[in-house]
Amino acid sequence: VHDTVSAMSGPAGNIDAFAEATAVSSVGDEGARHYEAEIHPGWDIGGNANGGYLMAIAGRAMTEAVGRPPLTLTAHYLRPGPAGPCTIDVEVVRSGRRLATARATMTVEGKPTLELLGTFGEQAPDDGPSYQREEPVDVTPFQDCLPMRPAADAGGPGLMDRLACRLQPGDDGFRKGEPTGDPTVRGWFALAAEEPIDAIGLLLAADAFPPPIFNSNIPMAWVPTVELTVHVRGTPAPGPLRVAFRSRFIHDGLLDEEGEIWDSAGVLVAQSRQLSLMPRPT
C-alpha cells in the first residue's frame, strides 16, 4: 500500500506553503507506519532546518498514523537536519477512546535525527471550569511591530522568508548588538500568505522565534535544542498569534526556554518549553 496523504489545509499553491513543506506520504499498516517526506530548503537557520519545522513534519506523520491531532508532543534532537528526503517511522503505543499515544523516529541520510513521543486527541472547547493565572501576553499591534527580517538583512535565516512574523519593538535589541539584558522575545507569529494555523502549525510556531537568550548579556551565536515539548491547548482562531518566549534559568551549560502562544480571540492555544545546550566557548 502506498498512498499520498495530502496536507490538511486544502489546495496546493503558495498559499499553502507550510502545508506543502510538511506533507507526508505513508507506506504501511495501522500499528507501525512508515512515512516519507521532504525537508524543504528555505525552512532553515543557516543551513539546518528549523527544529519546529522538523517537529511539524514528524508531528504530521504521527497525526496521520493515529488519526487525531497532537495534544502534547516531545521531540529530542539528535543531530542537525539538512534539506532532503527523510523518513518517519511511527509506532502507535496505545489508541483509546479519547487519547492515543505514539512514538516516532525521523531519519535523515540514514541517521536518526529526531526521536518523538506524543499523545494525540481532539481538543474541543467546552464550558467546563477554567482558570487563567496570567493575561494574554501584552504585545504591540501587529502592524506596529517590526518585520522579523528587515529587507537590508539579506543574510538572515531562510525561515523568515516563509513566515510573516513580527517582533515586539524593544525586543529587537539583540539585532542591533544591544541586548536588552532580559532574555525575552515577544511578537506575532503568522505563516506567509495568511495560511491558517492548525495544531501542526503550532509546532512550528513554538520554535520559530530567535532564542530569547540572544537578549541576555551572555554572548551566544547558536543554541542547539536538546528537547522541545509543545502542549496544544486549543485550535487557533484566524489571524496572527501573539507569542512570548523567555528563558528563566541559565546555568551549568544548559538553559530553558518557555513559550506561550495566544490566538486573536485571547485564548492560550499552545505552551512550549525546551531545554537547550549552551555551547562552551572554544
Contact between 121 and 64 (Cβ < 8 Å): no
Interface residue with a second copy, options 4, 131, 143, 151 (CB under 8 A): 131
Sign of CA dihedral 111, 116, 122, 127: negative
Q: Which three cell numbers stand for residue 2?
A: 502506498
- 237 scored as a contact of a second copy (CB under 8 A): no
Count other C-beta atoms under 10 Å from residue 275's C-beta.
14
**Closer of 157 and 210 to a second copy (Cβ):** 210
Footprint of a second copy on 249-278 (CB under 8 A): 249-256, 267-268, 271, 273, 275, 278
Point out which span in 40-48, 73-81, 144-152, 161-169 binds a second copy (CB under 8 A).
Answer: 73-81
**Closer of 161 and 182 to a second copy (Cβ):** 182
Point out which span in 7-15, 18-26, 28-36, 241-249 binds a second copy (CB under 8 A).
Answer: 241-249
Q: Which three cell numbers stand for residue 67?
A: 488519526
Name which of 236, 209, 190, 266 is nearest 69 in CA terms.
236
**Closer of 15 and 233 to a second copy (Cβ):** 233
Separation between Cα atoms, residue 80 and residue 22, nearest integer Å: 17
Point out which span in 19-27, 29-37, 47-55, 126-134 binds a second copy (CB under 8 A).
Answer: 126-134
Separation between Cα atoms, residue 127 and residue 117, nearest integer Å: 29
**Closer of 47 and 94 to a second copy (Cβ):** 94
Sign of CA dihedral 21, 22, 23, 25: positive
- 226 scored as a contact of a second copy (CB under 8 A): yes
Q: How many CA atoms lie within 13 A of 80 on its CB side?
A: 12
Q: Which residues sit at the interface with a second copy, rule CB under 8 A?
A: 71-72, 74, 76, 78-79, 93-94, 99, 101, 103, 105, 112, 115-119, 123-126, 128-134, 183, 213, 216-218, 226-227, 229, 231, 233-234, 246-256, 267-268, 271, 273, 275, 278, 280
